[in-house]
Amino acid sequence: MSQPYELRTQYWNDPVAKASFKQFAMDIFGLDFSDWDKAGFWDEAFTAFSYFDGDEVVANTCLYLLPAIINGRKTQLAQISTVGTRADLRRQGMNRELTEIALDWAKGKQDGVFLFSDEDAVPFYERIGFSPQEEFLEVIDAKPVTSREGAIKLDPQSDLAKIHDYAQNRVPISNKLSIGNEKLTMFHALYFLRDLIYEIPELDCFVACKRSEERLKIFDIVGKQIPSWKELHPFIADAGDREVEFHFHTDKLGLSAVRQIPLKGNLPFVWNTFPVKTPVFPYTSRA
């Protein structure tokens, strides 16, 4: 069906093919992988399955194998991402084929496959057999605490080595569901969390967080140990905070009265079933 296009995978060692992949990601999603690549965090485990027309990627599905902890057990999960077909070649079955090939390749290598869809791509994922998955946040009321000095804002450019050191040596954020991939953590540090990283040397970690509308949002805690909330909160507290939301399972933070609330908008989908029943997908697990 996909003649005259050439199926290629594991081609990151071919600079021309890799450049074409990056251009494709720019054209379809406006996503520029250059900063991640230049900083040296491009990841072999991020595996592309692409149709090429000569040197040009015309359709692509990536499957990212990610080391994970699920209910205390070490395993791997697979995330599908960077899914696209050049506009003039859509609805010809190319991406169905690529996704089937990628899933086939990942058989026996993972305990669950997930992805986050764009609104427009929902019918496509439903059509090719993925199921919508409910996703949650964990929320607590913000109790007043006495603030402490000592959180230092980090800059992903000048503090890159320090951030990387934390990412490399991090312990899992949760025993229930965590994804441990330093290169993906660095992707987030360089892109979505670039202005939100605060080192707390006293606790040997950094925290990625921001506040809006009386809500403190915690995206990740990266360090050689996970501090308890009691230890961490004073460094990032603000008297105006009413609630704190966590974008990961908080089982290691020593919290009580945690509410799980549905998170809308990321449109997660899974292949078959996902091994965690009410998942809080760690924010930094998104590829």
Ligand X SMILES: CC(C)(COP(=O)(O)OP(=O)(O)OC[C@H]1O[C@@H](n2cnc3c(N)ncnc32)[C@H](O)[C@@H]1OP(=O)(O)O)[C@@H](O)C(=O)NCCC(=O)NCCS
For ligand X, the binding residues (CB under 6 A) are 28, 59, 83-85, 90-96, 117-118, 120-121, 123-124, 127-128
Q: How far apart are the first and last CA of the chain?
A: 29
Q: Cβ of residue 40: shortest distance to ligand X, in angstroms? A: 27
| Residue 229 vs 283, nearer CB to ligand X | 283
Q: Cβ of residue 132: shortest distance to ligand X, in angstroms? A: 13
Q: Cβ of residue 101: shortest distance to ligand X, in angstroms? A: 12
C-alpha–C-alpha distance, residues 131 and 24, integer Å: 27
Beta partners for residue 215, in sequence order: 212, 243
| Residue 123 vs 150, nearer CB to ligand X | 123
| Residue 62 vs 66, nearer CB to ligand X | 62
Confirm if 255 and 140 have CB atoms less than 8 A apart.
yes
| Residue 126 vs 238, nearer CB to ligand X | 126
| Residue 96 vs 215, nearer CB to ligand X | 96
Q: Cβ of residue 239: shortest distance to ligand X, in angstroms? A: 40
Q: Cβ of residue 128: shortest distance to ligand X, in angstroms? A: 5
Q: Side chain identity at 89, as an amino acid letter?
A: L
| Residue 81 vs 250, nearer CB to ligand X | 81
Q: Cβ of residue 82: shortest distance to ligand X, in angstroms? A: 8
How far is C-alpha 31 from the geometric centre of its chain's CA atoms? 15
Q: Which long-range contacts (CB under 8 A, 24 or more apart) does 155-158 make?
A: 156/189, 156/190, 156/194, 156/197
Closest listed residue to residue 105, CA positions, set 207, 175, 238, 9: 9
Sign of the four-CA dihedral 48, 52, 56, 57: negative
| Residue 73 vs 90, nearer CB to ligand X | 90
Cis peptide before 123 (omega within 30 of 0): no
Torsion (CA) 217, 223, 225, 226 in degrees, nearest 10? 10
Q: Cβ of residue 118: shortest distance to ligand X, in angstroms? A: 4
Helix 182-190 to helix 160-168 angle (10° resolution) is: 150
